[in-house]
Copies of this chain bind each other. A is one copy, B any other.
Amino acid sequence: MSQHVEGIVYLVGAGPGDPGLLTLRAARLLASADTVVYDRLIHPEVLTHTRPHARLVFVGKEGGGESVAQEEIHTLLIAQARLGRTVVRLKGGDPFVFGRGGEEALALEAAGIAYEVVPGVSSGLAAPAAAAIPVTHRGVSGSVTFATAHRTGQAPDWAHLAGAETLVLFMAGRRLEEVTLALIAAGRAPSTPAAIVEAGTWAHQRVIEAPLASIAARAREEAVGSPALLVVGEVVSLRAQLPTLARTR
């Protein structure tokens, strides 16, 4: 008489912070989920879309032991799905932009679990936008590169990143000194406009603007915390021409 009901895992982007930037599909999936496995940097209001009896599991990392934690997340997702649960794995931004969604998808694939991916609004474009910085702009920048300062195993290709028209560097907070020196050493002009967007799209968002050569010192003075994005390129100077937008937050 027992019936096998197969679970499913949705790898869902929650967007950059502002709960209004959640997608309709993400909201609907949260409203039908039995289990929600969520990270740090998910706005509390996003979780209000869940059902009263949904099981909410926080798996946010506070640095260190990262790969072990990632393995544990895989085990948790697989176990919940095997119990027949509808699981939402909720990630800040987009699951495939430094979200380790690919690793989770591979783990689910290997375990034979049904899964889908639901893209989200990436912080890489939404945080600059909330700071009045268009990441591309006709006549100013025809491309944008998203990279991360926190990279396991391998150093970023600074020569390549220094040549980006617009560079958006994720997780830049703690390594700002090192990162800006590396970009300048690789040929980026020290005078290039740069900005740090701390907690982009959140109510407590802060923006610090300075030339590349001095942005790290300015960030230290202002005690910039996490999450923070570094934006480098001429597009940063458009900010001064968009005072209405810069004032929105």
Q: Which residues of A, 97-153, contact B by the 8 Å Cβ criterion? A: 97-98, 100-103, 105-106, 108-109, 114-122, 125-126, 128-130, 134-140, 142-148, 151-153
Across-interface contacts of A15 in B (CB, < 8 A): 23
- A160 adjacent to chain B (CB < 8 Å): yes
- A164 adjacent to chain B (CB < 8 Å): yes
Q: Cα distance A134–B95 when bound, in Å?
A: 8
Main secondary structure of the interface of A (DSSP, over half): mixed
Across-interface contacts of A25 in B (CB, < 8 A): 18, 20-21
Across-interface contacts of A146 in B (CB, < 8 A): 136, 143-146
Across-interface contacts of A117 in B (CB, < 8 A): 129-130, 245, 248
Across-interface contacts of A122 in B (CB, < 8 A): 122, 125
B21 x A138 contact (CB < 8 A): no
Number of copies: 2
Task: Give the residue name and chain of the B residue nearest to A235 (CB).
Answer: B102
Across-interface contacts of A163 in B (CB, < 8 A): 157, 160, 163
- A94 adjacent to chain B (CB < 8 Å): yes
Query: Smallest CB–CB gap between A227 and chain B, Å?
Result: 16
Q: Cα distance A136–B171 when bound, in Å?
A: 15
Across-interface contacts of A241 in B (CB, < 8 A): 106, 109
What are some 30 contacts across the A-B interface (CB < 8 A)? A20-B24, A21-B25, A22-B24, A24-B24, A94-B121, A96-B129, A97-B125, A97-B136, A97-B144, A102-B136, A102-B238, A105-B134, A105-B242, A108-B244, A109-B244, A109-B245, A115-B244, A117-B130, A117-B245, A119-B129, A138-B152, A142-B151, A142-B154, A143-B148, A143-B161, A144-B147, A157-B165, A160-B160, A160-B163, A160-B165
Having A97-B125, A115-B244, A144-B147, one finds 19 other A-B pairs with CB under 8 Å, namely: A20-B24, A21-B24, A23-B23, A23-B121, A24-B24, A94-B121, A94-B126, A96-B136, A96-B137, A102-B138, A106-B238, A108-B244, A114-B244, A143-B147, A143-B156, A157-B163, A157-B165, A160-B164, A160-B165
